[in-house]
Amino acid sequence: MGSDTANTQYPISSFGHLLPNIVRFARLLRDLGMDVTSTQIFDFVAALDVIDLRRREDVQESARAIFVSRREQLALFDAAFALFWRDRSSAHMPPANLGDPPRRRQRAQEQDRPMARTGAPDRRRQDDEPILDRVLSYSDIELLRHKDFARMNDDELDQVWQLMQTFSWRPSLRWTRRRQPARHGDQLDPRRMLRANLRYGGESLRLAYRRRKQKQRRLVVLCDISGSMERYTRVLLQFLYALRQRLKQVDVFVFSTHLTRITRHLQRRTIDEAVGQAVRAVDDWAGGTRIGAALHTFNFDWGRRVLGQGVVVLIISDGWDRGDPAWLGAEMERLHLSCHRLIWLNPLLGAPDYQPLTGGIQAALPHVDDFLPVHNLVSLEQLAHVLETLN
């Protein structure tokens, strides 16, 4: 699907939200050696308001005019545009003459390659690498983002871990009871007013205000590590470690037949050390599932310590519970009343034919604010968005 295709429709419905994909396309161009700035991205977004998005050639011409700064980049840009914005329903990819444009970045692997006598790194492998392969590698990442964790091999799980470390976790802010000085606030600050007006003989000529502080919401995660969750345990531990490294206000618990807190184990410097410490601390790994008993322990032993002050609770489980569903429902109700938001993440929810038919899920759902999947990278991105937009 080249740039000279006439009257082709721009497949907006094929890639979902437009703005995130524009940012990803800009990152692809940067990886291919093109100097793409934030200003150019904003200019392209503004250009989309004045062109017909249904005409693919108009969109491509606008993007080419904004992003391409040198003649030798034209072939590379056209090939990248055709591949990234291709019709996802079509598996055909027409050939493209990509040329050999210069690259702005050097890959980290070049540091490990042998040095020539002149002391410069050997770039023959880099120059011989087809640019189309580099573009396709980006497409592979897009496929990896949508692949179920349970169907990934070890190499793919390693790639997921690398991508997971780039996630930005910013839970929403909450208002605290404490106040801070502000130019415009809802309360007067008598002390600051007194100090500011001493020069005027005590006359209140200058006003000082204060307002309530804002603080990032804390997270509490309860993760199921029973036998039924074994296919997802490795990647979920990676997710919990990445989350703990990004956010300090996070408490992490795992459960199977009983509850274990692993927050301090996830503070290790490397993921291998953290997982090793966590595995040694848990004595019921891949055992049975007693969600109601685990929540009972959490509510009565840990609730007063880690809940309150607008805490958001994440429960990660497939809902297969061997205990009494009525007990699980009672503990879920108690937990729901003790936190600001209760989110249940189910890896099985990513299957198109999934239905919440188990007794445990049916007992828990009436007390859940959000019931979300956690089966691939896209679902984690969705979770990050939900946490960022909480009231």
Secondary structure in 3-state letters for 109-149 = HHHHCCECCCCCECCHHHHHCCHHHHHHHHHHHHHHHHCCH
| Residue 118 forms part of a structural domain | no
Give residue-wise pLDDT tens across range 325-335: 999 999 999 99
Looking at the domain assignment, is residue 102 inside a domain? no
Q: Is the pLDDT of residue 109 over 80?
A: no
- Please list the residues that pair with 371 across neighbouring strands: 344
Q: What percent of the chain has pLDDT over 90?
A: 43
Question: In this structure, what are the phi and psi dihedrals at residue 184, rounded to the nearest 5 degrees?
Answer: -130, 115
In a domain, 211, yes or no: yes
Nearest to 123 by CA among 142, 102, 149, 140: 102
Query: For the chain, what is the domain count?
Result: 3
- Regarding whether 384 and 248 lie in a shared domain, the answer is yes
Contact assessment for residue 329 and residue 355, using Cβ atoms and an 8 Å cutoff: no
The tally of CA atoms less than 13 A away on the side-chain side of residue 21 is 15
Same domain, 210 and 229: no
What gap in Å lies between CA 96 and CA 271, rounded to an integer?
Answer: 42
Percentages (nearest 5) of helix, strand, coil residues in the chain: 50, 15, 35
Interval 39-93: pLDDT, tens: 888 888 888 888 888 888 889 999 999 999 888 888 889 888 888 887 544 334 3
Domain coverage including residue 183:
176-215
Residues 282 and 187 placed together within one structural domain of the fold: no
User: pLDDT class for 17, splitting at 50, 70, 90?
Assistant: low
pLDDT of residue 28: 87
The answer to whether residue 121 sits within a structural domain is: no
In this prediction, residue 123 carries a pLDDT of 43
Residues 350 and 295 placed together within one structural domain of the fold: yes
CATH code of the domain in which 312 resides: 3.40.50.410
The model's pLDDT over 243-293, given as tens digits with 9 standing for 90+, comes to: 999 888 999 999 999 999 999 999 988 999 999 999 999 988 888 899 999
Residues 198 and 244 in one domain: no
Q: At 97, is the secondary structure helix, strand, or coil?
A: coil
User: How far is it, in rounded angstroms, from Cα 83 to Cα 130?
Assistant: 15
One domain, residues 211 and 227: no
Residue 71 resides in a domain: yes
pTM of the model: 0.65
Question: Alpha helix locations (H) across the chain?
Answer: 18-31, 38-47, 56-67, 74-84, 124-128, 131-146, 154-164, 190-196, 230-246, 271-281, 291-297, 303-306, 325-338, 359-364, 377-388
Both 199 and 265 in one domain: the answer is no
Is residue 307 a part of any domain in this protein?
A: yes
Dihedrals φ, ψ of 292, to 5°?
-60, -45
68 and 194 together in one domain: no
Same domain, 272 and 207: no
DSSP-based three-state secondary structure for 16: coil
* Encoded tokens for 104: 């702005």
The pairs formed by 9-12 with CB atoms below 8 angstroms and a separation of 24 or more are 9/54, 9/55, 9/56, 10/53, 10/54, 10/55, 10/56, 10/59, 10/85, 11/56, 11/85, 11/86, 11/87, 11/88, 12/53
Domain co-membership, 206 together with 224: no
Domain boundary, last residue among 215, 241, 265: 215
Kindly indicate the confidence band of residue 103, based on its pLDDT and cuts at 50, 70 and 90. Answer: very low
Q: Does any domain span residue 201?
A: yes
pLDDT band at 236 (very low <50, low <70, confident <90, very high): very high
- Position 87 scores a pLDDT of 52
Residue 257 located in a structural domain: yes
- The answer to whether residues 331 and 191 belong to one domain is no
Structure tokens at 378: 């896209």
- Reading the block at residue 347, the tokens are 């890896």
pLDDT confidence bin for 94, thresholds 50/70/90 = very low
Contact (CB, 8 A) for 287 and 323: no
Residues 302 and 382 in one domain: yes
**Do 189 and 208 meet the contact criterion of CB atoms below 8 Å apart?**
yes
